[in-house]
Amino acid sequence: MPDISAFVGRDVEGNLAVTYGTYTDTGAGGGTINTRLHTVLKMILQPTGSSTSADASVINATFPIVGGAAVTIVCDVDEVGTWIAYGDAFA
């Protein structure tokens, strides 16, 4: 699946590495988000924009995602949103 993410930044919260950014689907109904984390422990997707999403965006994996730099999501076609991921270390 295509990389549909844009990395915005990273931070540390307690003992967790946190990365965040945006995603823009270009007609594929999903794609890959590069979290830049070693292992993803949890992740939040938030669709944004002026239109309502018909279906909930989902992460197509089981947590924890080891080697979690690339996480596949399924979303509505042409959906735009933000993401935040929490993990054990930056990749």
How high is the pLDDT of residue 51? Answer: 67
Count of positions (residues) in the chain: 91
* CA distances in angstroms from 91 to 4, 40, 68, listed in the order given: 19, 10, 9
Task: Tell me the average pLDDT of the chain.
Answer: 92
DSSP state of 25: -
State residue 53's pLDDT score: 77
Q: Considering the entire predicted model, what is its pTM?
A: 0.91
pLDDT digits (tens, 9 = 90+) for 37-66: 999 999 999 999 776 778 889 999 999 999
Please give the DSSP secondary-structure letter assigned to residue 37: B
Structural domains of the chain, with CATH: 5-87 (2.60.40.3940)
CB < 8 Å & 24+ apart, contacts of 8-16? 10/36, 10/90, 13/86, 16/41, 16/86, 16/87, 16/88
Please check the confidence at residue 71 and state whether its pLDDT lies above 70: yes
At CA 62, angle to CA 67 and CA 76, rounded to 5?
Answer: 100
